[in-house]
Chain A
Amino acid sequence: MVIGKIVKSDSHINYVCQIFGPHEWEIQPRPADYAFGRFVRVAVRSLPTDETENAWNMFAEEPPATTTYAVGVIYNTILQNPAYGVLGPRLSNETQVEMFSPDYISEKAVLTYILVLGMMEVRTPGDGGQASQEVVTTMQGVPSLSLELDSQVETMSDEEVCNFHYFADPAGGPDSQHPYLHMGYLPHIINQPNSLLPMVTLRIIDQLEQLFPQNQSLLSIVKRNFAWRLKVETTG
């Protein structure tokens, strides 16, 4: 489900998404759709260059329909209201504005901050069926490509979140042949200077515990470690 668009970035991995307001999209997102700790994805435009396009044409084969997504997590929400504190002359109230000036665009907005956690490449079959998407590659950490302004931000289903976290890592690991649970973005979440990020980590772990009940004890190690530092050490 599309919830908004990228309007700004603070760094290569830190983006601001403006949630669609009324009439901006078919379905207006509810607060639950852009909740704290929600996984979202943003399609990255990675069209083949002209030369490769020609190469594909030469072989007269249809290029595989893959889409690259940047996967991120919502870690902050800001309610933007430029009219706040402006007590100046007002010709009409809000309902009258809607009636008399239908082309007036409201400047109020909901902004969410998204931290990019990695990328995944998904092959979409011709019929475009959501359920039969196939993950080609998954990568966690800082992506090489950046997002573009106005890119659409979509929420991710549980299955997609699972796919993003559970894969076989060809680079190594104790058992590189078989898929296992990855949270390779943890180090760079911790390094970000934002007080909400450790909390979002706990929220992520909670979600993963529900998605991967078999990995509960593995997750509990990280969870307890974070919880101890956040809750016991800061208050103690």
Chain B
Amino acid sequence: MFDSSQFVFPPAHAARRPVGITKGPGETTHEYTFVSRDENQVLKNGEYVYYELADAETMASGGPVRRVLGRVLKRVPVQLYPDTFLAEPEISPSMVAAMVGYDAHANELFELHVAIMGYYDARTDSFINPWIPPQSGKQIFLADDEMLTNVLSRKKHQDMGSATIGSLLTRTPAAVPIVLSVKDVVSTHMAIIASTGAGKSYLASVVIEELMQPHNRACVLIVDPHGEYGTLDQIMNDPHFEEEGDGYGSGYRADVRIYKPEQVKVRISTLNMGDMRQLLPEMTEKQQYLLNRALRKVREGKHGHPWGVADLKQAIKSVAKQKNDDEGEGSDDSSTAHALTWRVEQRFEQSFTFDDTQHLDLDEIFKPGQCTVLQLNEIDDRDQQVIVATLLRRLYQARMATERGQVHSGESYLPYPVFVLLEEAHHFAPGGTEVVSTSILKQVLAEGRKFGIGVGLISQRPGKLDADVLSQCQTQCIMRIVNEIDQKSVGAAIEGVGRDLLDNLPALSKGQVIVAGAAVNTPVICRVRQRYTQHGGESVDAPDMWRKYFSRNSAESQRRVDAPLNGNKGFNLLR
């Protein structure tokens, strides 16, 4: 990881030297092989190389020669030292070779397999495959840093709408910045997938930092079930996130609002029948019927104004009474109504999340240049799902209404796109089962693009995440994954070009990420940059905390706590 302030672009390479010579076509259609001594050990797996393609089109137009970029897939040794030369650990095989008269400066020879990516076409911002492998004998060059900087990322470092998340792994830190296109991330969604401890929340925080910088000024909401993003409030005091006014526009300073679990409120009147089913599980058919009618009645009675638990209870009573009246004798629903009322009371009157009047105002949590963190730790899992579902529903309706010009002010007016980051996404859209937040999340992912709602999903268990949800995320950031099921589900969701990169998944270290999809031109392996703010998602240092227990001061207080209470004999009545 490195500091992004170090980005300095070196001048174009004055002299380029070929690193190898093409041998011929490779195993599959879009592969070729070339042979190289690779004395300087530069042709790493995943490294980018190119050859020059002089086709009729470019020759006629007199344009620059096309450079067909490819990625090294594997290196196969062609010539190695014999095993017997490696018999003595303290004697290098080159010494043995030198002794028998072999000039040992260049001894190894490799055949390198390269996947053809194509030549970069600036008009379409994409790579165009030449559909033919290079001729045998073509010179192969190592792509220089400047070329890669230009073609791998859609945006330039620090441009408007750019998010520099790190640099290319195969090059020196800061040599080739990897810059996501924020427009594509927000319009076509993003997924961050990694095993625990691989740096998911670190990467997510880097993305958030980029979004909050003056060149983006994004409107971001983070749903944080573990309370890991509290340290993002340092953004407010960091000079990276502010800009002086230039006379035309006003200055900028990023704002961060952190909602503690007890501040996260859901107004009861925003709950629908699905939410109710989730919150009051195992309702009988009768109870569901009554509740459904009561909800309809209370909504009709209030004409869109908020209502509370009392109103709902009242409605249940009146609905039950009305039903009794309608159906006459023999159908007594009073016990059902009573049980339902009791359950509603039990569920909502004790809850600090569900409230009659208060809830999170959309215009309060969604503001450009503001990052809102909803800390949901200490909140029950089911309630978390309901919170996310109601929030996404309200957001979706507000954005839809605003875009369609149906509202021009008020609570449902939200005249700017937003980006919502969902931590532990498999919890809100689990595979194989439907929870209350699944359908609205799918709807937002499928149609959010039209209304400017971008979603970032973070999960450590892609195997547990709904496959539809994962495949809707067009930008994937995949970090180290060890579990085989998870690897497979990622392989199924990621676009075809980068599948060979996925073989590297178990080999990735902390802070290394494969980025693929809409926000970059081609899948790349990236080293995540250093955060400006402190990281909050650290694991607990258990040995350290155990040791502290035995430190002098705490040992004293511990003795006081642990002291038995039988010292005072004066109150022993049995004596």
Contact = CB atoms under 8 A, between A and B. Distances in A.
A221 B88 contact: yes
Contact of B101 (A184, A221, A222): A184
Contact of A183 (B84, B91, B100, B105): B100
Given A217-B90, A220-B88, A225-B84, A171 B103 contact: yes
A79 interface: no
Given A220-B88, A221-B88, A186 B96 contact: no
Nearest to B85: A221
A85 interface: no
A141 B103 CA distance: 14
A185 B88 contact: no
B124 to A, nearest CB: 50
Interface stretch (A20-28, A66-74, A121-129, A173-181): A173-181
Interface in A150-182: 169, 171-174, 180-182
Contacts of A187: 100-101
Contact of B87 (A172, A174, A224): A224
Interface in A201-236: 217-218, 220-222, 224-225, 228
- Give the dominant DSSP class at A's interface: mixed
A185 B102 CA distance: 11
Interface residues of A, number: 23
A14 interface: no
A224 B104 CA distance: 21
B471 interface: no
Contacts of B94: 174
Contacts of B90: 217
B78 interface: no
A137 interface: no
A25 B4 CA distance: 85
Contacts of A171: 103
A140 interface: yes
A184 B91 CA distance: 18
B150 to A, nearest CB: 40
A185 B91 CA distance: 20
Contacts of B101: 140-141, 182-187
Nearest to A208: B99
A72 B448 CA distance: 86
A182 B84 contact: no
Interface in A129-159: 140-141
B95 interface: yes
B92 interface: yes
B59 to A, nearest CB: 43
B82 to A, nearest CB: 8
A147 to B, nearest CB: 21
Contact of B96 (A141, A172, A218): A218
B92 A174 contact: yes
Contact of A180 (B87, B88, B99, B103): B99
A46 to B, nearest CB: 23
Interface residues of B, number: 17
B497 interface: no
Nearest to B106: A172
Nearest to A173: B98
A52 B349 CA distance: 117
B100 A184 contact: yes
A172 B85 CA distance: 19
Nearest to A118: B101
B99 A172 contact: no
Contacts of A182: 98-99, 101
Contacts of B103: 171-173
Residue of B91, B100, B103 with most partner-chain A CB within 10 A: B100
B91 A221 contact: yes
Contacts of A183: 99-101
A221 B96 contact: yes
Given A172-B103, A174-B104, A182-B101, A222 B95 contact: no
B95 A180 contact: yes
Contacts of B85: 221
A222 B99 contact: yes
A97 to B, nearest CB: 51
Contacts of B87: 220-221, 224-225
Nearest to B103: A172
A181 B105 contact: no
Contacts of A181: 99
A180 B84 CA distance: 20
B169 to A, nearest CB: 31
A172 B105 contact: yes
B100 to A, nearest CB: 5
Nearest to B94: A174
Interface in B73-126: 84-85, 87-88, 90-92, 94-96, 98-101, 103-105
29 contacts: A141-B101, A172-B98, A172-B105, A173-B98, A173-B104, A174-B92, A174-B94, A174-B95, A174-B98, A174-B104, A180-B95, A180-B98, A182-B98, A182-B99, A183-B101, A186-B100, A186-B101, A217-B88, A218-B91, A218-B96, A220-B87, A221-B84, A221-B87, A221-B91, A221-B96, A222-B96, A225-B84, A225-B87, A228-B84
Interface of A: 140-141, 169, 171-174, 180-187, 217-218, 220-222, 224-225, 228
Given A187-B101, A220-B87, 5 more contacts: A171-B103, A172-B105, A174-B92, A185-B101, A222-B99
Sort A-B residue pairs by CB-CB distance and give the 10 closest, nearest first: A184-B101, A172-B103, A173-B98, A225-B84, A186-B100, A174-B94, A217-B88, A183-B99, A221-B87, A218-B91
